[in-house]
Amino acid sequence: MLSLIKLPRVFTIHQVPKVFHEDSIISGYRHPRSSATDCILSLFQLTNETLNIWTHFLPTWYFSWKLLTVVLTRDVWSDSFTWPLLVFLMSCCVYPLASSCAHTFSTMSTRARHICFFFDYGALSLYSLGSAITYSAYVIPDKWVNSSFHQYYIPIAVVNTVICTALACYSRFSECKSPKFGKFFRILAFALPYLFDNIPLFYRLFLCVGEGCTDNDTNALHHTHIALAFLTAFLFATHLPERLAPGSFDYIGHSHQLFHVFGIIGTHFQMEAIEQDMVTRRPWLLTYSLPITFTNTLGAALLSVTLSLGIIFLFSLPLVWSATRGEHTEKKTQSHPIAKGCQYH
């Protein structure tokens, strides 16, 4: 069937605007003004984005299956103890789906590229909050349960999602003037919530001594997740291996593909650890920990989504407004601060 369909042409780095350039990726670029149909057809040909898309699209269905399993096998309507897990699994479904959509449709135009990745950043912010909600409910060490840190942990995590989304979206603007500064902003946007969310886990695994340290079999899974998280951060920041041999990893094996793969594997181990902590510690946590309510689970997630969508709207508005005023011509596009020839990722 596909042999009867004319697949879109691919281009080299010298044939597309600088805004679409990827570090050390020389070939395999799609047309910078692809139609939605061309974007979808490109899923079935080898470009430098194909595996970026599939490595997040397929895991979306895996996490959706896990979410459906929890809904069907647990009494989620009356058992509030399952709500943090539900929020986490929903965020695990959203972030790879948003990423795969962003990579699929990011070549429709310069503006579409920015807006697509704005939503990608918002989804990652939600995932960080989902992690924090489950860590507060199931993972936090016994010593810290009901502490002041525990009580303010979720509100601070919600604030961090706002900062993460805003900083990541802003990084696309700052990257016009200084690509390195923009890259730093984006790394900071993702590192800040991750490091804060994992404070209870880092303390539990590496610093806590004596009673109340929650030393159980789940810790091995947490160690694996942390190792994979730092590996994904390393790949995102360094652009290895393609930086060592530009053009050799254009289609298969470049850092963003590996970043996706190890990130998903890390999320899987994180999910396994969270579920094991949930089951193992349930009796003790139900007796001594903070009550799990709509406010500190689904309510916090809904607030985060609302705030992130508001931020995405504010950053997208100048792009949409300029388009409606006819600034899609080449001359005026070049005058727009986020539409200049900059490198984005």
Write the DSSP string, 217-286.
TTHHHHHHHHHHHHHHHHHHHH-TTTTTSTTTTSSSS-HHHHHHHHHHHHHHHHHHHHHHHHHHHHHHHH
Contact present, 236 and 194 (Cβ < 8 Å): no
Residue showing tokens 């950053």: 315
Instruction: Provide the 8-state DSSP code for 19.
Output: G
For Cα atoms 28, 29, 32, give the angle at the middle one, nearest 5 degrees. 165
- Record the tokens describing residue 82, joined without a space: 């399952």
Which residue ranges make up each domain of the chain? 49-321
Which CATH number does the domain 49-321 belong to among 3.40.1620, 1.20.1440, 3.40.390, 1.20.1070? 1.20.1070
* Residue-level pLDDT at 319: 87
C-beta atoms surrounding 7 within 10 Å: 14
pTM of the model: 0.92
Contact present, 227 and 245 (Cβ < 8 Å): no
Residues 6+ away with beta carbon under 8 Å from 40: 104
Residue numbers of the chain with a pLDDT score lower than 70: 1-4, 176, 323-345
